[in-house]
Amino acid sequence: MSSQKMSYVHGASTEPLKFTTIGRTLEDAAERWADREAVVCRHQDIRWTFTQLNDEANELAAGLLAIGFKPNDRIGIWSPNNIEWVITQFATAKAGLVLVNINPAYRVGELEYALNKVECAGIIIAEQFKTSNYVDLLGKLAPELGRSKPGELQAAKLPHLRTVICISSREHPGMRRFSDIAAVGTEVDRHRVSEISSTLQPDNPINIQFTSGTTGMPKGATLTHFNIVNNGYFTGRAMRFTEADRLCIPVPLYHCFGMVMGVLTCVTNGSTMVFPDEAFEPGSVLEAIQAEKCTALHGVPTMFIAELDYANFSDYDLSSLRTGIMAGAPCPVEVMKRVFEEMNMNEVTIAYGMTETSPVSFQSDTQDPMERRVSTVGRIHPHVEVMIVDEQGKIVPCGEKGELCTRGYSVMRGYWNDEEKTRESIDSAGWMHTGDLAIIDDEGFCNIVGRVKDMIIRGGENVYPREIEEYLYRHPQVQDVAVFGVPDQKFGEQIAAWVKLRDGSSATEDEIKNYCREQIAHYKVPAYVRFVDEFPMTVTGKIQKFVMRDTMVEDLGLSIDETA
């Protein structure tokens, strides 16, 4: 190997990792910041101190043991953001239960798959969220509920599920009410919580999150106390968090962005979590920032775009904002600049990672030059390693493109009950292969340039959608854009762009194509441009390009078999 610098970085740190559990982390916070505000749920009119949050978690943990749950049982939660979700996160961890995060957008088939895949013994459900009536949906899957005693469900389609707990003031047949659980616990149960907590190990699996793959069934990424306590803590350190910070959390709790980078970041740094609503609404976010004097805000790029373009945006006082995280999808440079200038977030950071790595691997620093913060995902997180490899798995020199692989405390235990998929993702040396294409420069800054599978090969030329998207974000009429490949008989693949225009703006296909012709090489100019009002999205704000590709293939009468 030549003396050229290779694409390997290691987050050397003088600050040690915390070898502790989630329960102990909350106990420590309650001792250290007892009377400080820990959590504000504006839509439920709830304000709790760290002491209150810890007490509520202990009571719920005792109640869960009292109604028959045992350490290592899996318990699902299917709910939008609320105080019950937050307490459950800590109560299950204290009782040694494995919390299974279930996407609030899941329908019956996905719910059945998730519950059975990890053999959930129980599930906590919201009564309703948007157009989903969870009680009815679960009833369709388990009609036996209506004639079951609470805790004694025997459903043909859900053979492992025994207990259903509903977040509701009303009684539902076969279910327990969430608000009744804590009261069931006795002094004996509270003592058991204490005993179990003292025996739990930081490396115990404590959380399963289903990854929203673009193909195949979701996989259950299994995370430990050690994984997510540390990732939450160091994510906060990158933002210079202290007990004076107040973080607005409009991202979903069922995802790492909410429960790790939101909840655990706050609890490990003594900061206040502010939940503006049960789900993202730009108005309620802006209102919460102003009313609660939030110093930080999290979101995916589409959320920041919606906030910036909100009709009454200029009416809100956002002067308290300082930092936060934009992540979950590639962060357009033009959007980042507006966040700096119009939202007062001059210390905003970009974070990059994946569910399987707890999630953050790279994050920009609040003091990094603006140009670095808008064009990269920052530098390696403490105690994490990353290398960039070519298609043969060999490390590439700095500045060259390849697949990002990561290793360290943050890598999951594996996919629950799926050794084969785990081996496909984590190699024998412990490297997690992310499927993301990246470049690391001489200073260690990382740039994500696309997905290995997203790359378009047009007439033998490798085309990275992200590059074209960045050009199109500069167009004055364009609010959002997604670029992807579609089959083409002549070139193998051809480039398609879905474009969302700003309110009140207009543009034609030819205008967009001509704009690209002035900026980028001819083979990168989209052959197809479609104007849309919205993109198919996951709940976490990731654009589902495979759905768009399928739609275009059908609409244009293309054959998948034509792809070279």
pLDDT, tens digit, 9 for 90 and up, residues 539-561: 667 788 989 999 999 999 986 54
d(CA 11, CA 284) in angstroms, rounded, equals: 37
pLDDT-based confidence at 214, cuts 50/70/90?
A: very low
* Residue pLDDT, tens place only, 482-492: 999 999 887 88
Mean pLDDT of the region 465-469: 86
Tokens coding 417:
């009950």
- Dihedrals φ, ψ of 297, to 5°? -145, 135
What are the residues facing 120 on neighbouring strands?
74
- Top pLDDT among 538 and 413 is at 413
Residue 125 CB-density burial (10 A; 0-12 exposed, 13-18 middle, 19+ buried): buried
* Residue pLDDT, tens place only, 180-190: 999 999 999 99
Of 475, 480, 446, 287, nearest to 363 (Cα)?
446
DSSP H or E segment with residue 223 = strand 219-224
Tokens coding 56:
């509520």
What is the chain's Cα-based Rg?
A: 24
pLDDT for 454: 83
pLDDT-based confidence at 326, cuts 50/70/90?
A: very high
CATH topology of domain 456-562: GMP Synthetase; Chain A, domain 3 (3.30.300)
pLDDT for 562: 35
- Top pLDDT among 466 and 244 is at 244
Q: Is the peptide bond before 104 cis (omega within 30 degrees of 0)?
A: no
Strands of the 402-408 sheet, one edge to the other: 8-10, 384-389, 402-408, 432-440, 446-451
pLDDT for 6: 97
What are the residues facing 101 on neighbouring strands?
77, 209
Mean pLDDT of the region 60-79: 98
pLDDT for 302: 84
pLDDT-based confidence at 212, cuts 50/70/90?
A: low
CB atoms within 10 A of CB 524: 20
d(CA 365, CA 347) in angstroms, rounded, equals: 8
pLDDT-based confidence at 1, cuts 50/70/90?
A: very low
Signed CA dihedral, 345, 350, 356, 361: sign only? negative
Residue 348: partners with Cβ closer than 8 Å, 6 or more residues away: 323, 324, 325, 326, 336, 339, 340, 373
Tokens coding 186:
């006795």
pLDDT for 216: 56
CATH of 49-211, one of 3.30.2350.10, 3.90.550.10, 3.40.50.980, 3.30.420.40: 3.40.50.980
pTM above 0.85, yes or no: yes
CB atoms within 10 A of CB 455: 17
Name the average pLDDT for the chain. 93
| 81 close to 258: Cβ distance less than 8 angstroms | yes
Does residue 428 register a pLDDT over 60?
A: yes
DSSP assignment of 421-481, as one string? HHHHHB-TTS-EEEEEEEEE-TTS-EEEEEETTT-EEETTEEE-HHHHHHHHHTSTTEEEE
Does residue 496 register a pLDDT over 70?
A: yes
* Residue pLDDT, tens place only, 374-410: 889 999 999 999 999 998 999 999 999 999 999 999 9
* Residue pLDDT, tens place only, 123-162: 999 999 988 899 999 999 999 999 999 999 999 999 999 9
What end-to-end distance do the CA atoms of the chain give, in Å?
34
What is the per-residue burial (b if ≥16 Cβ within 10 Å, else e) of 155-180?
beebeebbbbbbbbeeebebbbebee
pLDDT for 540: 65
- Top pLDDT among 94 and 373 is at 94
pLDDT for 522: 83
**Helices (H), ranges, 40-99:** 50-66, 83-94
d(CA 349, CA 370) in angstroms, rounded, equals: 10
Does residue 213 register a pLDDT over 70?
A: no
- Top pLDDT among 524 and 164 is at 164
Does residue 224 register a pLDDT over 70?
A: yes
d(CA 348, CA 403) in angstroms, rounded, equals: 26
- Top pLDDT among 328 and 4 is at 4
pLDDT for 561: 43
Indicate the angle between helix axes 50-66 and 22-32, nearest 10 degrees: 140
* Residue pLDDT, tens place only, 257-298: 999 999 999 999 999 999 999 999 999 999 999 999 999 999
Mean pLDDT of the region 469-486: 92
- Least confident segment among 118-127, 490-499, 506-515: 490-499
Of 545, 541, 444, 464, nearest to 498 (Cα)?
545
| 407 close to 389: Cβ distance less than 8 angstroms | no
Coil, strand or helix: which one is 193?
helix
Enter the DSSP assignment of 113: H
- Top pLDDT among 305 and 58 is at 58
Residue ranges of the domains in the chain?
Answer: 49-211, 456-562
